[in-house]
Chain A
């Protein structure tokens, strides 16, 4: 089959036009990791770990989300601009949550 007719593209940039092609093997590994993460988070929810229950649940969710962002969403293989955009967005998001929660915990609720 004549799949390779990209001689018009300049050297070195060829690959970026269709994005870095991630192998299906990587997708399968990530898929299995996500299934294991799901099983782990369901299992952990039945154990009484007191204040650690939500922390573990969120830690597993963050790990799963990171795998999805890096591999399914190709950020690991993306240009620096994309990495910086994702990083800056996440940072802004955390700043907003942090400021909201610090306002919430530092108010004298019911005493004004």
Chain B
């Protein structure tokens, strides 16, 4: 804005908020255009995750016994706690947008910091879960182990779920379950990491009073992104952890 301000100044006899870009006629037009753009970006994200969800749906249908046995390896307690954490972080983010709209700088910083901490908490729990997968050789690749599925009695999680031994060819397909598990939760975690980095930047800027002057677009659109990441988890949690639990 600063480089073009000398050129534009002559035309600007009327009042403009400093945050209105010069290529927009009105502030209303700017808000409509940027909101529309943010939603278009989120739609591309829906298509991206949707592809993986569809792959999961088809493979689960195809190798059903393998997917049931493999999903028993996930820990419901950690999954539920992470769902609680992520929903809470969505709530604190929504309150952050409200604080920005109400021009309450202190509350905004507090909400962003809480969202930041909850986001880190989610990733911490995800690390605990991933670590267990590495230890049990449930990470797809050269060191993948079928032991939990061929000898369920030797495996605590499989034994607790009452799994029967799978035939070798079916047991091999548990690797597909874990490939999808790591692809989907990994992409989700990457989105969380990007979000947490942006939150760090926003906390820094919010402390300088950047979002409490009436221009809330950045906080609001980041909120949309954060809620989108929450929605992805709202689907991931039942599909990966829960739907085969009763078997």
Contacts and interface: CB of A to CB of B under 8 A. Distances in A.
A73 B242 contact: no
B136 interface: no
A61 B238 contact: yes
A85 B40 contact: yes
B223 to A, nearest CB: 7
Interface in A1-42: 3, 6, 8-9, 13, 16-19, 21-22, 24, 27-28, 30-31, 34-35, 38, 41-42
B109 to A, nearest CB: 17
Interface string B219-247: 01001100110110011011101111111
Contacts of A92: 43, 47
Nearest to B35: A82
B246 A19 contact: no
Contact of A49 (B91, B101, B224, B246): B246
B183 interface: no
Interface residues of B, number: 55
Interface stretch (B50-58, B115-123, B149-157, B202-210): B50-58
A85 B84 contact: no
B78 interface: no
Contacts of A97: 50, 54
A31 B235 CA distance: 17
Interface in B1-47: 15, 17, 26-28, 31-32, 35-36, 39-40, 42-43, 46-47
Nearest to A78: B35
Interface of A: 3, 6, 8-9, 13, 16-19, 21-22, 24, 27-28, 30-31, 34-35, 38, 41-42, 45-49, 53-54, 57-58, 60-61, 64-65, 68-69, 71-74, 78-79, 81-82, 85-86, 89-90, 92-93, 96-97, 100-101, 104
Interface of B: 15, 17, 26-28, 31-32, 35-36, 39-40, 42-43, 46-47, 50, 54, 57-58, 76, 80, 83-84, 87-88, 90-91, 93-95, 98, 101-103, 214, 216, 220, 223-224, 227-228, 230-231, 234-235, 237-239, 241-247
